[in-house]
Amino acid sequence: MEEMIQEQTKVPLPILTQDAKEMIENKLLCSFLGEEGVLLTYYKDGYLYKNYITVVNINPINETIICTDAFHNKQIFKFVDVIEVN
């Protein structure tokens, strides 16, 4: 029963406009250059999650962002999974 409820609450990957992608890219770059924390919304396995992170590296070849959270835990996100940055 619990699995059924979890499946029903999943959402499809949001489709972003080119402008939205450019704004996300710009905010991530500002976080990287200024070593500032941002609120990142990302998609994973049918759900949207939010996390406060600081960007420590951007890899355009692999299309990944390497970040640390408030506890200095390293996390890696794919560009396509990032939905919003505030």
| CATH number of the domain to which 71 belongs | 2.30.30.520
Task: Establish if 81 belongs to a structural domain.
Answer: yes
User: Has residue 22 been placed in a domain?
Assistant: no
Look up the domain containing 50 and give its range.
37-86
In a domain, 66, yes or no: yes
Per the listing, tokens 């940055």 go with 85
Q: Is the pLDDT of residue 12 over 70?
A: yes
Instruction: Please give the C-alpha separations between residue 71 and each of 5, 34, 49, 53, in angstroms, as whole numbers.
Output: 32, 19, 17, 10
pTM exceeds 0.85: yes
Task: List the one residue out of 1, 75, 5, 4 whose CA is nearest residue 44.
Answer: 75
Model confidence over 29-86: pLDDT tens digits?
999 999 999 999 999 999 999 999 999 999 999 999 999 998 999 999 999 999 999 9
Q: Is residue 8 part of a domain?
A: no
Q: Give the total number of structural domains in the chain.
A: 1
Residue 17 within any structural domain of the chain: no
Q: What average pLDDT does range 22-32 have in this prediction?
A: 95
